[in-house]
Amino acid sequence: MKSLWKLIGSLLILMVVAMLLSTCVQQEAELSFETIEKEVGTRLGAQRYEAKEPKLVIIATLDEVSSLSPSLSPEARPELSNIDFSSYFVIAVFQGLKAVYDYEVCIDRITYLDETVKVFTKFVEPTEGQMLHPAQSSPYHVVRVEKPQNLAGKEVQFMLVANGREVASEMRRLP
C-alpha cells in the first residue's frame, strides 16, 4: 500500500513539473494587420515586380515608402505615406511575374517569437483545366502590421512562408 501511495505521489509531482515546464515554453504571438492593397494583376501605369521568384519587402520608416510606392495604385499611396511608423510597419509580398492573370497572393497570418516574424502566405495558382487569361500579372499583397514594442530597436528576421514552405527571408532593424 505504501508503494502505491509513493507511486501516486511521484505521478502528481511529475504532472506538476510538466505543467510548470509547459508554461515556460514561449508560443508564437499573432500580429494584427490590415490590407493596404491586394492586386491580382498589374495596374496600368504602375511599375511591377518583374522577377519570377517571390519577394518579401519590409518598410519600417517613412523614408522607405518611396521604394514601394511606384508598385501601388494611386489610391493606396497616400495611405502608405500616412502610416505612423512608430506603431506600425509594412509588409509587401510579391509572388513574381506570371505569364497569365490567374495568380493571387493572400497573407493569411503573421506571427512573431523573439526576434523572428513569420509571414504565412498562400500563393493561389490556376487549377488544372481552368480557363486562363493570357495577360501577364505580378500579384502582390501589402499590409500594415501593428509593431510589438518589444521588437522596436531590434534586428528582426522576417520569413516568408508560402504554401507551407519558406521561400524568402530578410533581416531588418525595426526603429
- Please report whether residue 107 resides in a domain: yes
- Please report whether residue 2 resides in a domain: no
Domain containing residue 60? 30-173
**How far is the CA of 92 from the CAs of 17, 95, 140, in angstroms?**
43, 10, 7
Whether pTM > 0.85 for this model: the answer is no
- Please report whether residue 20 resides in a domain: no
E-strand stretches of the chain:
29-31, 33-39, 55-59, 88-94, 104-113, 116-124, 140-146, 155-162, 165-173
pLDDT tens figures, 143-158: 999 999 999 999 999 9
Looking at the 3D structure of the chain, how many domains does it have? Answer: 1
- Please report whether residue 151 resides in a domain: yes
Phi, psi of 103 (to 5 degrees): -120, 160
**How far is the CA of 160 from the CAs of 37, 56, 119, in angstroms?**
18, 7, 5
pLDDT tens figures, 70-112: 888 888 889 999 999 999 999 999 998 887 777 899 999 999 9
- Please report whether residue 94 resides in a domain: yes
- Please report whether residue 163 resides in a domain: yes
- Please report whether residue 23 resides in a domain: no
